[in-house]
Structure 1
Amino acid sequence: MTTYANAVQPLARVYDGLMIHSNSAVAAPISGRLVDVLTNPSRIRTDTAVPVFVVLAETDVPGAAVARQPGTDRVVHWELAGTAHGDQWAVDLGGPTVQKSAGSAAPEPGCAAGSAPYNDGPGHHSMNAALRALTTWEQGGPRPASGALLDADRRDPATGGIRLPDVVVPTRTRGTATRTRGTSTTTTRPTRRSRPLRSRY
């Protein structure tokens, strides 16, 4: 989508606004050849004529952090605390469609026996809010506020970012990040720290 926003949209002018979900620091080469990988980092062009809303899940921040850029009147950036690129909501909603279209190449529908479930954090709520804000923005409404950056390197859970109630007052803990056939996920388990939890209410 970074490549589309930078190289195709300015010429095709198909969309009134663009939402980019979890782009990495390196954009796909428009030629389709890996030898033509674009300059790292690849940022959204600052002269875009349409609003561009970039939303990163927490698991995608390490691979995209070097491409962070200051917000502009046409580019807004959110990083979602406690979220995974591939979460339980996406698996439940999109699993059948992915299985039908990708066949054996599709991500596995569940985690290994005895392991924690997929991350079921609030990612889709934040994405819905971002999509609504983008729609209002491209129709002439106010520019959405840029979010605070995540600090995912120093502690778990990460600090900063867009923080919904599930993260501010957690009832579960996040497990080790895993990759299931190319899909970034994290796991969640019930928290056992009831006293600190009660103190947050």
Structure 2
Amino acid sequence: MGRGKSVWAAAGLMALGLGLARSASAAAMPQVKAPPAAGSPFFSAGAFDLKSLGYVEEEFLISGTATSYKLTAEPTADGAWAAKPAETAPYATRVVVIRPADPKAFKGTVAVEWLNVTGGLDAGPDWTYSHRQMLRAGMAYVGVSAQKVGVEGGASLGGGGMPLKKANPARYGTLAHPGDNFSFDIFSQAGEAVKSGAVLGPLKAKHVLATGESQSAVFMTTYIDAVDPIAKVYDGFYVHSRFGGAPPPETASMRAGPNTPGLRGVKYRPNLRVPVMTLISETDLIGSGLSGYWAAQQPDNDKLRIWEMPGTSHVDNYMFFVGGHDDGHASAAELAPYWKPNDALFGAKMAKPINSGPQHHYVAEAALAALDRWVADGKAPPKAARLELNPPDKEGVPPALALDGSGNARGGIRTPWVDAPTAKLSGFGNSGGPYGFLVGSTQPFDAATLAKLYPGGKTDYLKKFDASLSGAVKAGFILPADQAEIRELAAAGWPGA
């Protein structure tokens, strides 16, 4: 029997054998098979060798009949949405699986990412920001091609893009996506394939977490408010860098993204089923021309944590330049050149250097780890102060961040890059190319400013940096496993080092 047929048969038997053992979800179990052509997945996991890290990368095609949803009433800002099934359509898409090669190294958690299609192709920003924590924690990762643009193509911020069927027709030519209003059920069915074990080889998942960043996080908000009460597939949600709105499931499309017709902001539903961890940058909070998360803010509760990060942008140097080289073994000195401010991106010249603050990456790792622990043992993550805002001058205008004497934002999760700064780090103030409004900016301090802040030079700086770093680790917003590396990075990154 060929590999594709054997995988399909094994998946079918597993679905039958585990049908009663799976949670009482409403999502269907899809058919699972191997791609028809040899080769590697069209997915950028990084420039490092996963095999040497004890991981394997695989890919499966999943297919079946997807259901769309529609709200039973007009969408409301409180997120207390009720939805019902609408239409059905056949679909076929793919999932990328990165898992421990040794079953003994698997700790039981799978992060399932709704792949981002803003650039016109499938990308895994949550993998990029947090893969190191996934690898060292023995997690598995699954990336889901949930949206039509990533499969078939279509309008995108990045222009023409590179959908799967264009990237490799032999491998992906049989895929078919009926539209983004079916994406929610496709994502649910992918979760079912993970829970059944059909795409995990010898592994069996204990906890399955849904993740999504940026435009995917906006769709994840819709999923939480409208679909999760019906589907009941995932054990927790990591919503990373969402904006204020969320489209009703029946009007969902890539271009609908962050804005909700008639609503500036949509909160999470008041009666969440499972834990939800939300991570917000400065760009997300204010909006940068989109509907800002400030209009959707709500208090933490027993199933919700919201962490807001000063000095961060929606995407940054780590996302574009560092993450692809960061396998967890490179020294801080080796990575330091990638961290240096950069004003060029995809051939476009930015007006200012892109945000080069490392805190987004390190806090994202801590957020994912906190959600994993929360789901596994019920220990809720720490609550965080929110970013301080100055009220707007007039109605309908977003508020402004309250800034300290160095020009960095007040409040939020305190890290050494804003408490012991060597630059003004912002989620705003840039332009150039299609992504300029999302990349934030870095304005390094001049020698006089550094001398005023740190009269003792590098020694004085590292003393203040260490004090802030220790506080962030103790508070639970940076992982102890990252502390030594961060300190080394600070020493290597001191101006003139």
TM-score where L is the length of structure 1: 0.82
CA contact (8 A) 1:27 1:38 kept: no
CA drift of 1:27 comes to 0.8
CA drift of 1:29 comes to 2.1
1:21 correspondence with 2:240: yes
Question: What residue is the counterpart of 2:434 in the other structure?
Answer: 181
1:161 correspondence with 2:402: no
Question: What residue is the counterpart of 1:194 in the other structure?
Answer: 450
One-letter code aligned to 2:385: A
Cα distance, 1:71–1:194 mapped onto 2, change above 3 Å? same
1:172 correspondence with 2:443: no
CA contact (8 A) 1:150 1:158 kept: yes
In structure 2, C-alpha distance between the alignment counterparts of 1:173 and 1:36, rounded to whole Å: 32
**Aligned-CA RMSD value:** 2.5
Question: What residue is the counterpart of 1:146 in the other structure?
Answer: 383
Unmatched tracts of structure 1, length 5 or more: 95-106
CA contact (8 A) 2:408 2:425 kept: yes
CA contact (8 A) 2:245 2:260 kept: no
CA contact (8 A) 2:356 2:425 kept: no
CA contact (8 A) 1:58 1:80 kept: yes
Q: Which moves more between the two structures, 20-29 or 159-168?
A: 20-29
1:127 correspondence with 2:127: no
In structure 2, C-alpha distance between the alignment counterparts of 1:37 and 1:27, rounded to whole Å: 9
Q: Which moves more between the two structures, 151-160 or 139-148?
A: 151-160
1:26-105 matches, cutoff 5 A: 26-32=245-251, 37=261, 39-62=263-286, 63-92=292-321, 93=323
One-letter code aligned to 1:10: P
Larger Rg: 2
Cα distance, 1:36–1:25 mapped onto 2, change above 3 Å? closer
CA-to-partner distance for each residue in 1:98-155, whole Å, 9 max, x for gaps? xxxxxxxxx9426517x54311111010110000000000112311122111125232
One-letter code aligned to 1:79: E
Cα distance, 1:58–1:131 mapped onto 2, change above 3 Å? same
Which structure is higher in RCO with an 8 Å CA cutoff and minimum separation 6? 1
In structure 2, C-alpha distance between the alignment counterparts of 1:78 and 1:37, rounded to whole Å: 26
Tell me the number of residue pairs that the alignment of Structure 1 and Structure 2 aligns: 188
CA drift of 1:23 comes to 1.6
User: Alignment partner of 1:195: what SS?
Assistant: helix
Cα distance, 1:65–1:110 mapped onto 2, change above 3 Å? farther
In structure 2, C-alpha distance between the alignment counterparts of 1:24 and 1:197, rounded to whole Å: 34
Question: What residue is the counterpart of 2:126 in the other structure?
Answer: none
In structure 2, C-alpha distance between the alignment counterparts of 1:85 and 1:30, rounded to whole Å: 24
CA contact (8 A) 1:26 1:38 kept: no
Identity of aligned residues (%): 33
Cα distance, 1:165–1:36 mapped onto 2, change above 3 Å? closer
CA contact (8 A) 1:27 1:37 kept: no
CA contact (8 A) 2:277 2:305 kept: yes
CA-to-partner distance for each residue in 1:171-197, whole Å, 9 max, x for gaps? 122365225425512121321212332
In structure 2, C-alpha distance between the alignment counterparts of 1:134 and 1:52, rounded to whole Å: 8
Cα distance, 1:21–1:110 mapped onto 2, change above 3 Å? farther
One-letter code aligned to 1:128: E
User: Alignment partner of 1:78: what SS?
Assistant: strand
